[in-house]
Every structure is written in C-alpha cells, then in structure tokens.
Structure 1
Amino acid sequence: MKQLLALLGLLCFSMQAQSPELALTITNIQSVKGTIEIGVFNTHDNYLKEGAAYKNYSIVVTDNSETIIIKDLPKGEYAISMYHDKNSDDKCNKNFLGIPKEAFGFSNNIVPKFSAPSYEDCKFVLNDNEKMDIKLTAF
C-alpha cells in the first residue's frame, strides 16, 4: 500500500512538473484600484462566453503594471481576455452600444476595431515556459 501511495505521489509530481509556467504581465493600468479579471479559453466554441472560461484568475491592482505567474495550465492552445474591474462589481461595464467602459486586453495584444476579436486572432500555444505582455486598452 505504501508503495502504491509513493508511486501515485511521484506520478502527480511528475505531471505537475510538465505544466509550463506562463508569466503574464499586464501594462497600461490607468488606475490603481479594483482588480484585473482574466479569462483563459481553450476552444473557439466557448471563447468570450460569460462563465465559459477554462480558467479564471483575478489580480488585485497595486501598481500600473501587474504580473501573474500561471502554473496550472497544461500544454496546449489558449486565448486570453481580461478587463480592469475598477469598481469591483465583478462585471465588465459597457455603454449602451455594448462597448466596454473599463479597460480590457487580449492575448497577442489584439485591439478590436468594430467587434470583439476572434479566438483565432488571440490564440497562442503554450508548450514551454513563456512570458507574455498584454497592454490594456480603453475607449
């Protein structure tokens, strides 16, 4: 029994070691208050659908640039979206046209012009440790 537990422990450790680290730096934070809400999507089917992110992360804003180290994403293809929830109401506030009133950002630093970017525009492959910068944009 002890051998089985040791083997399972070793297997779990080895699986964790295979997950790469993503160092995500968010820049152009205009206000040092609230949180940055991050959604990580792993398919185009659920991309940008509310409540459908593969993983969610939240960072309390303490500076004009914030970094989060994500260690729990297995190797694969992803797209990231985020917004600065300045008023901490847990939603991306939008105007009557549906345009975000709070700053937002996407992987690959895609800046949308007339509609939200596609999964294809924002996707990236995470196979090894990676650093990524995302600049927040506000309209």
Structure 2
Amino acid sequence: MRFIIIIFCLLYSNLLFSQKFFIEVVVPNIPSIKGEIQIGLYNKSATFPKVGKEFKTYRYKVTKKRMKFKLTDLPRGFYALALYHDINSDKVCNRNLIGIPTERFGFSNNVKPILSAPSFKSARLILLENKVVEIKLQ
C-alpha cells in the first residue's frame, strides 16, 4: 500500500510540474499599422534585456493599433518581457547617437527605464497560471 501511495504522489507531482501556461501580451497603443512587434521573453536576470540572450523571441506583423499576442507552452517560473515596435522591419531596435531608442518599446510591469534598462526584478512576472499583461509602448 505504501508503494502505491508513493507512486501516486510521484505521478501527481510530475503532473503539476509539467503543466504549461501562456502569457497573453496586450499592446494597446501601437502608433501605426506598419512593421512588426518583437517580444523578448527572459527567464534569467543575468540576460535581461540583452538582445540575443532571450529565453524565447517572438515577432508579429502589426495589423492593428491594439494587438494581443499569446506566448504559449511556458513552464511555471519567473519571466520578464521586453518588446519594441520595429516600424521599419529591420529586426533592430534603432537608436539615436547617444543610444536612446528611436522606436517605441516597453517592458513587463510597464517599468519605465531611467538612464538604463530596468532590472529583471522590476519587470518580473510570476507565472503560476495563465496570465494576461498589458504593456504600453513608451
């Protein structure tokens, strides 16, 4: 009997940890119906928000000024999002001479950067169930 209980507990815990969730990202203020939205999903503070170091990257063609994007098959955990409106579809967040982005961008929790990119902790989301987040472009 003890063996059966142990097996049941192991199977149940495996089921809990293997669950997959989604984050639905709502961007309500896209300035024009041109280009693409690129979303970087990060799961480590050491890589946030470094280009090319994302856990997953998503690109979507802009078709409306308010759009929703579903990031699926995500295990529970801590995540942070960084996104930008790639208006000229060159796959780069363009910047001016002093390094300030010239294309609109945003972070989870609508964190506004002051002199540098926000920390992972300030933009962190805890994914324990399906989640809807709104990120306004700055």
TM-score range, shorter chain: 0.7 to 0.9
5+ residue gaps in structure 1? Answer: 1-13
Aligned match of 1:92: 93
Q: Unaligned stretches of 5+ in structure 2?
A: 1-14
Amino acid at match of 1:74: P
| CA-CA distance at 1:113 after TM superposition | 2.4
Match of 1:115 in 2: 116
Identity of aligned residues (%): 41
Number of residue-to-residue matches in the alignment: 124
Name 1:103's counterpart in structure 2.
Answer: 104
Compute the TM-score of the two structures, normalised by the length of structure 2.
0.85
Alpha-carbon distance in 2 for matches of 1:80, 1:41: 6
Matched position secondary structure for 1:21: strand
In terms of Rg, which structure is larger?
Answer: 2
Question: 5 Å matches for 1:5-16?
Answer: none
- The correspondence of residues 1-139 of structure 1 with structure 2, limited to 5 A, is 18-137=19-138
The alpha-carbon deviation at position 22 of structure 1 amounts to 1.2
RMSD: 1.6
Residue deviations 1:83-128, cap 9 Å, x none? Answer: 0000000000000110000000000011112211111110110010
Secondary structure of the structure 2 residue equivalent to 1:20 = strand
